Amino acid sequence: MADGPEAIQLDLATCEASVPHVDPESFPKPLAGTSRICRATIAHDDIQAFVISPQRATAR
């Protein structure tokens, strides 16, 4: 199996502007917490949830 592409880091502002996403009304229960931001992307039949902490506001 080939290795996937290398991960890149995006700051939150770039990610918000560049990645099509939705802002869920609530967090998935296992990911809930205080002072967190939740975003979700939808591609084909997959939903990916991203939880972002203000202390580490980069997406990988």
The answer as to whether 54 is a domain residue is yes
Q: Residue 54's pLDDT band (boundaries 50, 70, 90)?
A: low
Note down the domain range covering 42: 10-59
The answer as to whether 5 is a domain residue is no
d(CA 18, CA 10): 10
What's the whole-number mean pLDDT along residues 24-35? 75
Q: What per-residue confidence (pLDDT) applies to 55?
A: 65
Identify residue 48 by its one-letter amino acid code.
Answer: Q
Structurally, the chain folds into a number of domains equal to 1
pTM score, whole prediction: 0.56
**Do 49 and 31 contact (CB within 8 A), yes or no?**
yes
Closest by alpha carbon to 41, among 12, 15, 21? 21
